[in-house]
Amino acid sequence: MSQVFILVDHTHGKVAHPVGELATFARRIGDVSALVLGGDLAVLTTQLSDLGISEIISISGINFDKYSAGASAQAIAQLVTDRSPAALLITSTARGKEIAARVAVRTNSGIITDAIDIDAALVATQSIFGGSTTVHSKVGHGTPIITLRSNSVEIESSATTPTLTEVKVVESDFDASRLGDKVVSVTEAISGGRPELTEASIIVSGGRGTNGDFAPVEALADVLGAAVGASRAATDAGWYPHSHQVGQTGKTVSPSLYVACGISGAIQHRAGMQTSKVIVAINKDPDAPIFDLADLGIVGDLFAVLPQATAEIQLKKA
Amino acid sequence: MKIAVCVKQVPDSWAEKKMSGGLLDRAGVDAVLNDLDEYAVEEALRLVEKHSPTGEAGEGSGHTVTIISMGPDRATEAIRKALSMGADDAILISDPALAGSDALATSLVLSKIIVREKFDLVLCGTESTDARMSVVPAMLAERLNLAQLTFAGSLEVDVATSKISVARTTDAGIENMEATLPAVVSVIEKINEPRYPSFKGIMASKKKSIATPSLSDLGVNPQSVGIGSAWSTVNDAKERAARAAGIKVVDEGNGGKVFADFLAEKRMI
Ligand SMILES: Cc1cc2nc3c(=O)[nH]c(=O)nc-3n(C[C@H](O)[C@H](O)[C@H](O)COP(=O)(O)OP(=O)(O)OC[C@H]3O[C@@H](n4cnc5c(N)ncnc54)[C@H](O)[C@@H]3O)c2cc1C
Q: Which domains does chain B have, with CATH numbers?
A: 2-229 (3.40.50.620)
* Cβ-based burial of B110 (10 A; exposed 0-12, middle 13-18, buried ≥19): buried
Whether chain A has a CB inside 8 Å of the CB on B174: the answer is yes
- Is B52 near chain A, with CB under 8 Å? no
**DSSP assignments along B132-198, one per residue:** ----HHHHHHHHHT-EEEEEEEEEEEETTTTEEEEEEE-SSEEEEEEEESSEEEEE-TTS--PPPPP
- The residue to mutate among A198, A208, A214, A239, having the most atoms of ligand 1 within 8 angstroms of its beta carbon, is A208
DSSP letter string, A31-69? EEEEEEESS-HHHHHHTTTTB---EEEEEESS-GGGB-H
Predicted local distance difference test score (pLDDT) of residue A1: 67
Average pLDDT over residues A26-48: 97
Is the CB of B148 less than 8 angstroms away from the CB of A257? no
Chain A from 72 to 131: CB within 8 A of any B CB = 73, 93-95, 97-102, 104-106, 109-114, 123, 127-129, 131
Q: Average pLDDT in the B214-230 region?
A: 89
For residue A119, give the 3-state DSSP assignment: coil
| A52-98 pLDDT per residue, tens | 999 999 999 999 999 999 999 999 999 999 999 999 999 999 999 99
The domain segmentation of chain A, as residue ranges, is 3-178, 197-317
Contact B172/A186, CB-based, under 8 Å? yes
Examine the pLDDT at A192 and tell me if it is beyond 80: no
- As a whole number, mean pLDDT of residues A131-144 equals 91
Per the CB < 8 A criterion, the answer to whether A261 and A209 are in contact is yes
Decide whether any atom of ligand 1 lies within 6 Å of the A255 Cβ.
no
| Residue partners of A120: CB distance under 8 A and separation at least 6 | A28, A29
- Contact criterion met (CB < 8 Å) for A136 and B235: yes
Q: Which residues have CB under 8 Å from A161's CB, separation 6+?
A: A49
> What's the gap in Å between the CA of A7 and the closest CA on chain B?
17
Q: What is the pLDDT of residue B191?
A: 96
Closest residue, chain B, to A185 (C-alpha): B176
- β-pairing verdict for A111-118 and A124-128: antiparallel
Residues in chain A: 318
Which residues of B, range 179-218, sit inside 8 Å of A by Cβ? 179-180, 183, 188-190
Q: Across the interface, do A309 and B257 touch by the CB < 8 Å criterion?
A: yes
Exposure string over A168-181, b if 16+ CB within 10 A, otherwise e: ebeeeebeebbbbb
* The predicted structure's pLDDT at residue B15: 66
Q: What CATH number should be reported for the domain whose range is A197-317?
A: 3.40.50.1220
Confidence of residue A193 (pLDDT cuts 50, 70, 90): confident
ipTM of the complex: 0.92
Give yes or no for a contact between B52 and B172, defined as CB atoms under 8 angstroms apart: no
CATH number of the A3-178 domain: 3.40.50.620
The distance of A178 to chain B (nearest Cα, Å) reads 6
Residue A187 confidence class, pLDDT cut points 50, 70, 90: confident
Task: Quick: pLDDT tens for A294-307.
Answer: 999 999 999 999 99
pLDDT confidence of residue A130:
75
Does the CB atom of residue A266 touch ligand 1 within 6 A? yes
Predicted pLDDT of residue A174: 93
> Which secondary structure element, helix H or strand E, spans residue A105, and what is its range?
helix A94-107
The pLDDT of residue B26 is 73
Q: What is the DSSP letter of B8?
A: -
Poorest-pLDDT segment among A161-175, A180-194, B106-120? A180-194
Q: What predicted TM-score, i.e. pTM, was given to this entire model?
A: 0.91
Q: Do residues A103 and A80 lie in contact, with contact meaning Cβ atoms separated by under 8 Å? A: yes
- Within A240-315, strands assigned E span 257-261, 278-283, 296-299
Q: Which residues of A touch B148 (CB under 8 A)?
A: 68-70, 98, 181
Three-state DSSP state, B243? coil
The average pLDDT across B87-97 equals 96
Which pLDDT tens digit goes with each residue over A232-264? 999 999 999 888 999 988 999 999 999 999 999
Q: How far, rounded to the nearest angstrom, does the alpha carbon of residue A53 sit from its chain's CA centroid?
A: 20
A153 touches chain B (CB under 8 A): no
User: Residue A275 above 80 pLDDT?
Assistant: yes
Q: Please tell me the predicted confidence (pLDDT) of residue B171.
A: 76
Distance CA B132, CA A103 (A): 19
The DSSP result for B97-119, as a single string, is GGTT--HHHHHHHHHHHHHHHT-
- With an 8 Å Cβ cutoff, are B257 and A98 in contact? no
Q: Report the nearest atom of ligand 1 relative to the CA of A230.
A: 11
**The pLDDT of residue B259:** 98
